[in-house]
Amino acid sequence: FSCEWAAAHFRFRPPHSDLAYALEAGKGGTRAILLAVQAHIISYLLFTRETECTHLERLCRVGRQEQRQALATALAETLWAAGGGGRAVVCLLTAPITMMPHEGYRANSFTERIQLFEFSEKAAARGFISDHINCFKGEGTHGVILFLYSLLFSRTLER
């Protein structure tokens, strides 16, 4: 992955602003993934979340906690759909490890640290993602790459 991909993570605009519902998207290849997740975020904020606000106010009055919940729900929904409605796989990074690469394999200190968590219930996947949301939205977390890996493993390599 390029430096741009390695630096990409899910980052919202400031809470309680006119664009509090919006993810910040840089230039390049990560934008497509961010926009797909953005669609799920808007859907959640407009149609799923319980609030007394009008539709436009639902988007503008989003606080930090609501941003976190919207992102967790959007990631879970996307992974669940990729898994065909029967499973979701979430990839997270473990602590750095020291290992000797096998012949013909070039270690990158990222792929070797990925740990898979498989879920057969959407609510369990959403709860797990919510508990670990900082793994996707923190600076330096490789959040978009982790989500891409999660999509691939949820979809399965065969499919």
Residue type, 12: F
> What is the tally of helices (H) and strands (E) in the chain?
7, 2
What is the Cα–Cα distance from 6 to 147, expressed in whole angstroms?
Answer: 12
pLDDT tens, residue by residue, 84-105: 989 999 999 886 665 655 666 5
Q: Look up the pTM and report it.
A: 0.87
Any bridge partners for residue 90, and if so which? 117
pLDDT of 135: 92
Structural domain that includes position 94: 3-155
User: What domain count does the chain have?
Assistant: 1
pLDDT tens, residue by residue, 54-86: 666 667 778 999 999 999 999 999 999 999 989
The values of phi and psi at residue 144, to 5°, are -70, -35
The contacts of residue 92 (CB under 8 Å, 6+ apart) are 114, 115, 117, 132, 135, 146
